[in-house]
Amino acid sequence: MKKAKYRFLKLTSLLVMTPFWFGGCAPTERLTKEELEAMVPKAVSRADTEKLFIVDCLLPPEVRQLGQKTIFLSPRLPIKTSELECRIRGGEYVAYDRANYETATKVWQAQAEQGDPEAQTYMGQIYEKGLGTDPDYVFAAQWYRRAAEQGYSRAQINLGYLYEQGLGVETNVVTAMNWYRKASGLPDELEFVSSAEIAAQEQELEELREEVSRLQQEAESLKQQLNKTGRKLSTARKESANLQNEIEESRRRIEMLEEEGVSPEREADLQRLQRELERKTANVEKQSLMIARLEQEAEGYRVKLNEVSTAQAQILRGPTIEIFEPPFSAMRRIPTVRLRSPIKRKEIVGRVLAPAGLEAFNVNNRSIDVTADGLFRVLLDIVEPETTVKLVAIDKKGRQAALDFVVVTEPSRPAPPTIAGINFGTYHALIIGNNQYRHLPRLETAINDATKTERILREKYGFETTLLLNADRHSVLLAFHQLRQRLGEQDNLLIYYAGHGDLDRINDSGYWLPVDAAPDDPVNWISNLAITELINALPAKHVMIIADSCYSGTMSRAALPRVDVTTRKNLRDKWLKLMAKSRSRTVLTSGGIQPVLDLDLAGGEHSVFAHAFLAALDANDDILQGYNLYTKVAEQVSRRAAHLGITQTPEYAPIKHAGHETGQFFFVPAG
pLDDT given at position 228: 81
Asked if pLDDT for residue 59 goes beyond 50, the answer is yes
pLDDT given at position 355: 76
Do 549 and 517 meet the contact criterion of CB atoms below 8 Å apart? no
Which of 242-246, 324-328, 435-439, 593-597 bottoms out in mean pLDDT, i.e. has the lowest?
A: 593-597
pLDDT given at position 430: 95
pLDDT given at position 505: 56
pLDDT given at position 187: 58
pLDDT given at position 593: 52
pLDDT given at position 601: 44
Q: Which residues contact 69 (CB under 8 A, 6 or more apart)?
A: none
Q: Which residue has the higher pLDDT, 336 or 577?
A: 577
Q: Which residue has the higher pLDDT, 359 or 383?
A: 359
Asked if pLDDT for residue 199 goes beyond 60, the answer is no
pLDDT given at position 331: 37
Provide the pLDDT confidence category of residue 412 given band limits of 50, 70 and 90.
Answer: low
pLDDT tens digits, one per residue of 520-546: 777 888 888 888 888 888 889 999 999
Mean pLDDT, rounded, for 480-489: 87
pLDDT given at position 553: 42
Provide the pLDDT confidence category of residue 671 given band limits of 50, 70 and 90.
Answer: low
How many helices (H) and strands (E) are present in the chain, helices listed first?
Answer: 15, 23
SS (H, E, C) 587-618: EEECCCCCCCECCCCCCCCCCHHHHHHHHHHH
Task: Give the Cα separation of 183 and 662 in Å (integer).
Answer: 7
Task: Give the Cα separation of 280 and 464 in Å (integer).
Answer: 98
From the list 111, 112, 121, 54, the residue with the least C-alpha distance to 86 is 54
Q: From residue 143, how far is each of 58, 139, 151, 285, 668 by CA, in Å?
A: 20, 6, 13, 75, 37
Mean pLDDT, rounded, for 505-515: 73
Tell me the percentage of the chain whose pLDDT exceeds 90.
Answer: 12
pLDDT tens digits, one per residue of 139-198: 899 999 999 999 888 888 889 888 877 888 988 877 887 787 788 776 554 444 444 444
Task: Give the Cα separation of 343 and 335 in Å (integer).
Answer: 19
SS (H, E, C) 293-314: HHHHHHHHHHHHHHHHHHHHHH
From the list 178, 52, 61, 153, the residue with the least C-alpha distance to 111 is 61
pLDDT given at position 37: 56
Residue 397: its H or E element = none
β-partners of residue 348 are 378
Provide the pLDDT confidence category of residue 13 given band limits of 50, 70 and 90.
Answer: very low
pLDDT given at position 1: 36
Which of 186-195, 215-224, 269-278 bottoms out in mean pLDDT, i.e. has the lowest?
A: 186-195
**274 — alpha (psi -120 to 50), left (phi > 0) or beta?**
alpha
DSSP string, 18-51: ---B----S------HHHHHHHS-SS--GGGGGG
Average pLDDT, the chain: 75
Asked if pLDDT for residue 429 goes beyond 90, the answer is yes
Task: Give the Cα separation of 133 and 53 in Å (integer).
Answer: 22
Provide the pLDDT confidence category of residue 411 given band limits of 50, 70 and 90.
Answer: low
pLDDT given at position 66: 58
Could you tell me where the DSSP H helices lie in 185-263?
Answer: 196-260
pLDDT given at position 24: 35
Asked if pLDDT for residue 416 goes beyond 70, the answer is no
pLDDT given at position 89: 78
3-state secondary structure of 157: helix
3-state secondary structure of 516: coil
Which of 241-245, 327-331, 384-388, 463-467 bottoms out in mean pLDDT, i.e. has the lowest?
A: 327-331
Q: Are strands 542-548 and 584-589 parallel, antiparallel or unpaired?
A: parallel
Q: Which residues contact 60 (CB under 8 A, 6 or more apart)?
A: 23, 24, 25, 26, 27, 28, 76, 90, 91, 92
pLDDT given at position 22: 34
Q: Which residue has the higher pLDDT, 515 or 561?
A: 515
Q: Which residues contact 116 (CB under 8 A, 6 or more apart)?
A: none
From the list 123, 191, 193, 203, the residue with the least C-alpha distance to 166 is 203
β-partners of residue 362 are 367, 392
Provide the pLDDT confidence category of residue 493 given band limits of 50, 70 and 90.
Answer: very high
Tell me the percentage of the chain whose pLDDT exceeds 70.
Answer: 71
pLDDT tens digits, one per residue of 64-92: 565 555 555 667 788 888 887 888 777 77
pLDDT given at position 11: 31
Do 566 and 339 meet the contact criterion of CB atoms below 8 Å apart? yes
Do 557 and 654 meet the contact criterion of CB atoms below 8 Å apart? no
From the list 537, 544, 270, the residue with the least C-alpha distance to 427 is 544
pLDDT given at position 544: 93
Highest mean pLDDT among 5-9, 526-530, 548-552: 526-530
Mean pLDDT, rounded, for 126-135: 77
Which of 23-27, 171-175, 365-369, 542-546 bottoms out in mean pLDDT, i.e. has the lowest?
A: 23-27
Q: From residue 437, how far is each of 446, 447, 448, 470, 499 by CA, in Å?
A: 11, 12, 15, 7, 9
C-beta contacts of 329-333 below 8 A and 24+ residues apart: 329/191, 329/193
Asked if pLDDT for residue 100 goes beyond 50, the answer is yes
Highest mean pLDDT among 22-31, 431-440, 595-604: 431-440
Instruction: Give the number of residues written for the chain.
Output: 671
Q: From residue 359, how far is each of 114, 249, 372, 642 by CA, in Å?
A: 60, 62, 13, 18
Mean pLDDT, rounded, for 659-665: 81
Asked if pLDDT for residue 10 goes beyond 70, the answer is no
Asked if pLDDT for residue 596 goes beyond 60, the answer is no
Task: Give the Cα separation of 337 and 566 in Å (integer).
Answer: 8
pLDDT given at position 428: 94
pTM over 0.85: no
Provide the pLDDT confidence category of residue 588 given band limits of 50, 70 and 90.
Answer: confident
Do 583 and 541 meet the contact criterion of CB atoms below 8 Å apart? yes
pLDDT given at position 432: 95
Q: Are strands 542-548 and 492-498 parallel, antiparallel or unpaired?
A: parallel
Asked if pLDDT for residue 39 goes beyond 90, the answer is no
Q: Which residue has the higher pLDDT, 542 or 47?
A: 542
Q: Could you tell me how far CA 479 lies from the centroid of its own chain?
A: 27
Q: Which residues contact 628 (CB under 8 A, 6 or more apart)?
A: 325, 562, 565
On the 0-12 / 13-18 / 19+ scale of CB atoms within 10 A, 230 is: middle
Task: Give the Cα separation of 456 and 667 in Å (integer).
Answer: 11
Asked if pLDDT for residue 471 goes beyond 60, the answer is yes
Mean pLDDT, rounded, for 450-458: 93
